Structure 1
Amino acid sequence: MARLLNDEEIGRQLRDLPGWGRDGNAIRATYEAPDFPTAIRLVDDVAQDAEQMDHHPDIDIRWRAVRFTCATHSEGGLTQLDVELAHRIREAAARLGATAGE
């Protein structure tokens, strides 16, 4: 079981995740890809990481914009798994030329 992060831990870790913000018991970010096929590649890259971690984000795709929401539903909030997945999403987005938006 993953330990829930407290508010101070969440705030500190979000400082290292540009484009990510807290939304209640989740963290989220939207990335704008150069085009639709790249947005789909971003989703696929993140799916590979998420599957390897056995920790899966909620994903919403609208043309070139991909919104990721990370929360540990089984724990009812945010854990280190969410932060690690957010870092992996940010890295995948950077590799593909997608920029943090919203």
Structure 2
Amino acid sequence: MWTQHDNEIRRTVEAPDFLTAIRIVDEIAVEAERLNHHPDIDIRWRKLHLVLTTHDAGGLTDLDYRLAEIIDGIAAKHGA
């Protein structure tokens, strides 16, 4: 579940294990490159803390919500 804090949205994803967490990050990286929009990702064992904002625009844009939806799909696919 994404939550908004000021000009960003955040979500913590808990993967089944560390290797799955890394696979999720890898898939997010591929999509982020495709969109040229990159989240902040903090990896803590099997928990991924994700933050999205559009720095150029000084806040949230449709691109943030689009990438958030993609991330939700990736996480769900991996049981997170």
Q: CA RMSD in A?
A: 0.4
Cα separation, 1, equivalents of 2:26 and 2:40: 13
After TM superposition, the score normalised by the length of structure 1 is: 0.78
Question: Structure 2, unaligned stretches of length 5 or more?
Answer: none
Mapped partners of 1:96, 1:30: distance in 2: 14
Does residue 1:53 correspond to 2:38, yes or no? no
Structure (1 or 2) with the greater helix fraction? 2
Q: Which runs of 5+ in 1 are unaligned?
A: 1-18
Q: Which runs of 4+ in 1 moved over 2 A?
A: none
TM-score, scaled to structure 2: 0.99
| Greater gyration radius | 1
3-state DSSP class of the match of 1:85? helix
> When the two structures are aligned, how many residues end up with a matched partner?
80
Query: Which residue does 1:10 correspond to in 2?
Result: none
Aligned ranges 1:64-75 → 2 under 5 Å:
64-75=46-57
Q: Distance in 1 between matches of 2:5 and 2:27?
A: 24
Tell me the percent identity.
55
